[in-house]
Structure 1
Amino acid sequence: MAILATFALLFAALFAVCCLLLAAFIGSLLYMVVLHHRLKEAGLRREEMLLSTPLPADADLPHVVVQIPSFNEGAVVRRGAESAAALDWPRDKLHIQLLDDSTDETAEMVRQVAAELRARGFDVVALQRTDRSGYKGGALHEAMQKTPHDFFAIFDVDYIPPTDFLRVCMRPFFAEPKTAFVQARFDFLNPHENALTEMQMVTLDAHLGIEQATRCWAGHPLPFNGTCGIWQRAAIDAGGGWKGDTVTEDLDLTYRGWVKGWRALFLTSVGVPGELPADTKTWLRQQQRWQDGFRHVSMRMFPEILKSRDITPSAKLAALLHLCMALNQPVLLVGVASGILAGLLAPSLVPLLLTLFVITVAWVLVCATTFLRAGHNFIRGGEIPPLEFGVVLMRFVGGQIATVVRSFGVHFRKMFSKPKPVVFDRTPKRGN
């Protein structure tokens, strides 16, 4: 009995530690809201100043390569390529690369669209690979080697940049030449298609409007969002180039460049609409890929950040807290398991365990609600009334539970199967 009691106390202690860690991780979102309100005025003023930087005459503008990765996304290939061709930039300095790894009829469609645009006088090439080595990161890396130019505007194939995107987003590079990349804000083509897309809109608005904007304003590491941004070659090279050994090549390159001293800019005032997954299965697969990639990058970059002598202690702390968010699900799963075991071994501990659990859940809900509402108010001006927003919040909670359950199943199966190589599970697009 003494041994069982000892194990029960150990599991209870582990449960308490997990609750504290989760409270700290989620509490960082509340801190971001506070920091956002403190820095917003100065941050928006700086953004306005950078976007008012005059551009050189057209003859002196740099060449820009627009890169559009695709994989079996024929429904949106033509629209994506034509939106790139419609960008307002000197025709002789606008170059479009369609980076297609498709294995279906999309491949022929890409070749046809490229030929049609070339016939209209645009510099468009279809770079098609026979295998997906490195996935999106590999495609971006190979495409860079085929051009001598220094600026790369990257769009996932379903995003439709406004025609003045380059005229607006290239300006900061002339004001601050050491900018690694300029990231525009996602907007959405189908935010109110159903309950799932509305929940995603609210979640991504909070991520972009609160997390990304505030990191930029505070000088914290600013992750690239994988699309709707412009990189310059020097920053990519400094970070070691695009790599395909993680499924979040954007976050990976961001941190490798950041450790080398390159910084980035997030633009709250420039929105680029794209398509949100409208079915639960597709969305859950997307979330799993993002979570797996976040963990890959965290494990890779933790040692690099800690041993760097060029990063201040406060900047290291900001980076490590950000990367620690990758531990949310593992900590939650360990906490649930340890709490159940503690309760089974020592039923007398159940009231204490439940109290700690309820306090943690309440804290998480307060932080998440504040974070999501602040992002919605900032980006959308609070267009969803409070009562309706409460319903959206319930969907968010349900979505998080679903991702945890799916993740648990994925990791449980991995325990009893042979290790498999990393696979980039691209989110399919319907062309809405």
Structure 2
Amino acid sequence: MNIFDYLLLYSLGIIWITIFINVVLVIGGYIYYLKVLKVKMKEDLVDFPFVSIMVPAHNEEKVIGRTVKSLLQLEYPEDKYEIIIINDNSSDSSSEILDELKRDNPDRNLIVINTDSTTGGKGKSNALNIGFEKSKGDFLVIYDADNTPEKKAVKYLLETILSDDRLGAVIGKFRCRNRKKNLLTKFINIETLTFQWMAQAGRWQFMKLCTIPGTNFVIRRSLIEKMGGWDPNAVTEDTEISFRLYRMGYRIKFMPLSVTWEQEPQTLRVWFKQRSRWAKGNVYVLVKNFKFLFSRRSGVSRFDILYYTLIYFFFLSAVLLSDFLFVIGLTQTVQFHIGGYSIILWIMAYSVFSLSIMVAISTETGELNLKNFLVVLLMYFTYCKLWGVVAAFGFYSYLKDVIFKRETKWYKTERF
């Protein structure tokens, strides 16, 4: 065996470990899915707590009107919730759209906060902190500006968090509203079902562990006060605040009956910009929290620290290395002594990958079909390979931020 054989073994080993972990999470998620099917939610809460629904928005004229209208139609007592839109340093017609909505709904508790380049424009965390100062609810529910939650979404979140004082937050599920638009949105839809909510379900099933997404979740006001608000330096403020909640001794539960629909990127350019931002933000969170890997106070969140380390360092290096070895193997400039075995392991990995995704999407009505099966087969060679490029660029962007001490600003996801 030569050095290239050892590098090949490393890449295959890391890839297989990652696939195995995700398969286990999918199995756990499916078990939790079967449990949720038996859950009977209450038609009405005995005592509805007052809730502040906050929506940070920056240049969201294409979607903000639809989002606010869906929030006004929630099945929750009108006098028990307020809607706070943080129109953060927008230069489009968002302000005019929101003013019109306020005029059309004079009896509703709709609050619009307009910031400028001095007070705002510093990212989602800063916008949430601004909205938090104006909020009155004992519970805070967060939605992104492109979301249209189903009517019972907030009720399900509140009923769940009120059932257990150990819960610091409860997260719901988000679905891809424009999943049929093109091949990219079909990829995102399958990714969301498998690696977003099914993985969340599996982690809750096995470890009572979840990570807050950027939208459709409720958190206790008292905990935000104790934390001193959202971290303004965190691009992925949702992941960052999840780690702090666990260190405080609280849990985050997944309630998939609470559903919101959101618009996903429809072009590779927009997708790349969004996902590289996520990757950069997650690297920041990992670096910030890595020291807690050795602290018992971190509890089960240490699994997430290990998982992020695996994904953004070991798995990323394994994927890039695997592609490099594949290319030089084609040129026949080097000789592999375990080539035959590597092909067998690769075929097995591809088969397990595809099967686990099919199991995951089978939990959603209408998603298990021939078209999606073909999309899954194609996904491994295209969409998943692009992830390596995104993660590498995100890591590079994080290093640039650290070196040049760049200030956190809005990373606008273009709407359609």
Cα distance 1:162–1:37, how it changes in 2: closer, same or farther (>3 A)?
Answer: closer
Shift of residue 90, structure 1, vs aligned partner:
2.8
SS at match of 2:169: strand
SS at match of 1:270: strand
Aligned to 1:174: 162
Q: Which runs of structure 2 are paired with 1:26-425 in the superposition (5 Å)?
A: 26-42=19-35, 44-45=37-38, 48=39, 51-52=41-42, 55-57=45-47, 61-109=48-96, 111-113=98-100, 115-116=102-103, 119-131=106-118, 132=120, 134-239=122-227, 241-309=229-297, 311=299, 316-317=302-303, 320-321=306-307, 323-327=309-313, 328-334=315-321, 336=323, 347=333, 350-352=335-337, 354-355=339-340, 357-359=342-344, 361-380=346-365, 382-385=367-370, 388-405=372-389, 408=392, 419=404, 421=406, 422-425=408-411
Shift of residue 152, structure 1, vs aligned partner:
1.1
Shift of residue 229, structure 1, vs aligned partner:
1.4
Which AA in structure 2 matches 1:150? D
More deviation, 119-128/69-78: 119-128
SS at match of 2:148: coil
Is the Cα–Cα contact under 8 Å of residues 80 and 160 in structure 1 kept in the other structure?
Answer: yes
For 1:388 and 1:41, how far apart are their aligned partners in 2? 22
Which AA in structure 2 matches 1:308? R
Shift of residue 53, structure 1, vs aligned partner:
8.4
Cα distance 1:395–1:133, how it changes in 2: closer, same or farther (>3 A)?
Answer: same
SS at match of 2:260: strand
Is the Cα–Cα contact under 8 Å of residues 154 and 258 in structure 2 kept in the other structure?
Answer: no
Cα distance 1:83–1:40, how it changes in 2: closer, same or farther (>3 A)?
Answer: closer
Cα distance 1:9–1:177, how it changes in 2: closer, same or farther (>3 A)?
Answer: same
Cα distance 1:145–1:414, how it changes in 2: closer, same or farther (>3 A)?
Answer: closer
Is the Cα–Cα contact under 8 Å of residues 53 and 171 in structure 1 kept in the other structure?
Answer: no
Is the Cα–Cα contact under 8 Å of residues 23 and 363 in structure 1 kept in the other structure?
Answer: no
Is the Cα–Cα contact under 8 Å of residues 110 and 126 in structure 1 kept in the other structure?
Answer: no
Is the Cα–Cα contact under 8 Å of residues 98 and 110 in structure 1 kept in the other structure?
Answer: no
Is the Cα–Cα contact under 8 Å of residues 28 and 201 in structure 2 kept in the other structure?
Answer: no
Is the Cα–Cα contact under 8 Å of residues 292 and 298 in structure 2 kept in the other structure?
Answer: no
For 1:193 and 1:340, how far apart are their aligned partners in 2? 33
SS at match of 2:218: strand
For 1:249 and 1:340, how far apart are their aligned partners in 2? 38
Which AA in structure 2 matches 1:158? D
For 1:55 and 1:301, how far apart are their aligned partners in 2? 37
For 1:22 and 1:310, how far apart are their aligned partners in 2? 27
One of 10, 19, 37 as aligned partner of 2:12: 19
TM-score normalised by L of structure 1: 0.83
Is the Cα–Cα contact under 8 Å of residues 98 and 124 in structure 1 kept in the other structure?
Answer: yes
Which AA in structure 1 matches 2:223? A
Q: Structure 1, residues 220-257: CA drift from partner, whole Å, max 9, x if none?
A: 42011110111111333455531121221101101111
Is the Cα–Cα contact under 8 Å of residues 121 and 409 in structure 2 kept in the other structure?
Answer: no
Shift of residue 393, structure 1, vs aligned partner:
2.9
For 2:43 and 2:299, how far apart are their aligned partners in 1? 29
More deviation, 360-369/293-302: 360-369
For 2:101 and 2:199, how far apart are their aligned partners in 1? 37
Shift of residue 128, structure 1, vs aligned partner:
2.2
Number of aligned residues: 412
More deviation, 177-186/401-410: 401-410
SS at match of 1:124: strand
For 1:406 and 1:379, how far apart are their aligned partners in 2? 28
Give the percent of matched residue pairs that are identical in Structure 1 and Structure 2.
18
More deviation, 153-162/420-429: 420-429
Which AA in structure 2 matches 1:282? V
Which AA in structure 2 matches 1:246? A
More deviation, 154-163/333-342: 333-342
**Superposed CA RMSD:** 3.3
Aligned to 1:4: none
Is the Cα–Cα contact under 8 Å of residues 182 and 264 in structure 1 kept in the other structure?
Answer: yes
For 2:143 and 2:183, how far apart are their aligned partners in 1? 26
Which AA in structure 2 matches 1:17? Y
Which AA in structure 2 matches 1:36? G
